[in-house]
Amino acid sequence: MGLYSIFTGLFNTKEQLETSDISRAEKAVTIDGIASLGMGSLQGGVFLSAFAIALGANNYEIGLIASFAFISQLMQLPGLILLKNVKKRRAITFLSAGTSRFLWLFIILIPLLFVSRGITFMLQWLLISLLAGALAGPSWNSLLRDVIPSDKFGKIFSKRLMWGTALALLLTICGGYFVDWWSVRFPTSGLYAYSILFSVGLLLGIIGITAISRVPEPPMPETDNESLLKELAKPIKEFNFRRLLVFTGLWTFAVNLAGPFFIVYMLDRIGLSVFMITLLTVTSQVANIVFFRIWGKAADRFSNKSVLAITGPIFIIVILAWTFTTMPERYFLTIPLLFIIHILSGISTAGVTLASTNIALKLSPKGEAHIYMTVFSIVAAIAGSISPLAGGVVADFFSARELSLTLNWSAPTVEVSMYALNFKALDFLFFLAFIVGIISLNRLSLIKEEGEVEEKEVLAHLQNELALPLRTITSVEGLRRLVVFPISAVTKITKGKDTG
């Protein structure tokens, strides 16, 4: 089959999908999901930030990279308009995603051909690539809803997530080791290590879009001709959903004010190797995967708001905890603290990600979920695109400033001095994100959700979820108490607060 036939075949639709078509769609969607998660692990996160720093990126430019992911989501509006007029979902998805992935060639070739153009060149092509990819969002989501049976959504997407995350974890660990290995053997050509990783990511991306081209497409159902602006105004006019949008905007701003700079902090301030950072990242991701099931069960049994009320404060405290990993420089508790921070971060983000999306869906009227979720995504995109830029400005402002509080002890034979508090450079940014996070949690309390319960019931459920596997694994009572104690303590504190 020639390239022209493959291209024209993208625009063909099939009136009635047969069992074999559904089976092919399930397989193709699974392959694309696994390949895309693998691609993202190599072309984002630690490796993209480290590559940018190696090119000379400052704090503002690191913030800019993080904001691009959110800015690009605004392309969902043109994507909706394009879908409404063209109605060829597979073709739009394939061409948009394919263009996005092949544009990475410009970034891959930077060490070889464009290193003199520096970070600006990388930022330019990264933004264009993300904008092209986001254009496919509405088309891809619409196609998925029509080709995957609703009773198989959980099975297909959990399989995509499980195998895709497993691949991403493996690639992250191997990639971190590879970068450190390469820098030792080729110290003057460190940038090429990232190009090799990005190239592997591109190969996975090509596998993904090849799978997309094999997804069968039924014709799009006819929709009404109500103006897009009128539809987008509906969620904003609904009082309770508007409260959710305010919380979402503040929360996204707080998280992305600090989040993009954690890797910078570990590389520059603490001085960790890329491999150690990837190891911490994988630790967080494993905790995230384990607790997705736990928070999912809690959200179904109680409410999404109740889960947010537990996981939100944990994540905000985690942000503040970063300021204690240096006192004022790396010390003996730095590495243990970092592992605790990443574990708690993975636990809390699992709950926040799951519950925030679910509550938005739950508050969306039937038949209008796509409009409400688009507005929800746009608010998060706007807040998420502004906050990293603001974070970069704040980080640069405080880069030459320091606030310290010391404790001194004097005796006839000895004098001891130690830091009780030391804020320097990015520490100020983390503290500011902590404050905005507290404000956002206050707005969360105003949202009304059917079936919401008190936080202490969710904490009790969490304690039982963690204790059950331990009863199976070990009969040692002391070990079970040691592991369950933190959750039990939080439950007692919460009960005391309620009765006080």
CA–CA gap between residue 466 and residue 343 (Å, rounded): 15
3-state class (DSSP) for residue 451: coil
* pLDDT value at residue 142: 76
Reported confidence tier of residue 244, pLDDT bands at 50, 70, 90: confident
Range of weakest confidence among 55-64, 169-178, 195-204, 477-486: 477-486
On average, the pLDDT of the chain sits at 80
DSSP state, residue 448: -
Please check the confidence at residue 490 and state whether its pLDDT lies above 60.
no
pLDDT in tens, 15-46: 677 777 788 888 888 899 899 989 999 998 88
- Residues 312, 352 contacting (CB under 8 angstroms): yes
pLDDT at residue number 419: 67
Q: What is the mean pLDDT of residues 80-84?
A: 80
Report in angstroms the alpha-carbon separations of 250 from 245, 323, 378, 420.
9, 21, 13, 30
Which positions ≥6 away from 87 have C-beta within 8 Å? 219, 220
Q: Who's near 1: CB < 8 A, 6+ residues apart?
A: none
> Residues 6 or more apart from 365 whose CB is under 8 A from it?
372
pLDDT confidence tier of residue 155, bands split at 50, 70 and 90: low
Within 10-117, where are the H helices? 19-43, 45-54, 59-71, 76-86, 89-102, 104-108
For the segment 387-397, what is each residue's pLDDT rounded down to a tens digit? Answer: 888 888 888 88
Cis amide leading into 365 (omega within 30):
no
Task: Look at residue 77 in the predicted model and tell me its pLDDT.
Answer: 82
For the residues 265-293, what does the mean pLDDT come to? 85
Q: What is the pLDDT of residue 71?
A: 85
* pLDDT value, residue 204: 95
Mean pLDDT of 10-19: 73
Q: Which of 153, 146, 156 is nearest to 87 (CA)?
A: 146
Alpha-carbon separation of residue 418 from 337, 361, 415 (angstroms) = 18, 50, 10
pTM over 0.85: no
Q: Which domains does the chain have, with CATH numbers?
A: 10-223 (1.20.1250.20), 228-452 (1.20.1250.20), 454-500 (no CATH)
How far is it, in rounded angstroms, from Cα 383 to Cα 405?
Answer: 33
The pLDDT confidence band at residue 402, using thresholds 50, 70 and 90, is: confident
pLDDT band, very low/low/confident/very high, at 102 (cuts 50, 70, 90): very high
Extended strands (E) in 224-276? none
C-alpha 127/C-alpha 88 separation (Å) is 25
pLDDT value of residue 482? 43
Return the structure tokens found at 382: 């706007």
The answer on pLDDT for 473 being more than 80 is no
Q: Residues 346-352: what's their mean pLDDT? A: 84
Write out the two tokens for 139. 């088309």
* Predicted confidence band of residue 498 (pLDDT cuts 50, 70, 90): very low
- Per-residue confidence band for 475, with pLDDT thresholds at 50, 70 and 90: very low
